[in-house]
Amino acid sequence: SRYIRNGVGVRDENTVVLAISRSEVSLGSFARLFRDGLDCANALFLDGVVSALSNGERMIVGGNYPAGPIIAVSAKR
């Protein structure tokens, strides 16, 4: 099956990578992106059909569903 997909990967002890596809992709090709393209030894697929990406002002990808779990990045205090 092909869907917009998003996930999180760990490149090293200091680097976490978040990714979302801009078009519908298979789970296998999305996994290879993390392994081969982003150099992540470990990755977690977060969801399927409801993937979305926003910069806080506008939707970049997806956004047709109400938001559920959210990952945010903020400055360390």
Q: Are 68 and 6 in contact (CB under 8 A)?
A: no
Q: Is residue 64 part of a domain?
A: no
Q: Is residue 72 part of a domain?
A: no
Query: What's the pTM value of the predicted model, to 2 decimals?
Result: 0.70
Mean pLDDT for the stretch of residues 35-62: 80
Report how far residue 26's alpha carbon sits from residue 44's, in angstroms, rounded to the nearest whole number.
15
Higher pLDDT, 51 or 35: 35
By C-alpha distance, which of 51, 47, 54 is closest to 72?
54
Number of domain units in the chain: 1
Q: How confident is the model at residue 50 (pLDDT cuts 50, 70, 90)?
A: low
Q: Is residue 52 part of a domain?
A: yes
Instruction: Report pLDDT digits (tens) over 52-72.
Output: 777 677 766 776 666 666 777
Distances (CA, A) of 51 to 23, 24, 34, 58: 11, 10, 17, 15
Q: Is residue 34 part of a domain?
A: yes
Q: Is residue 74 part of a domain?
A: no
Q: Is residue 66 part of a domain?
A: no
Q: Would you call 11 helix, strand, or coil by DSSP?
A: strand
Instruction: Report pLDDT digits (tens) over 18-33.
Output: 898 888 999 999 999 9
| Other Cβ atoms within 10 Å of 74 Cβ, number | 5
Range of the structural domain that residue 19 is part of: 2-56
Q: Is residue 25 part of a domain?
A: yes
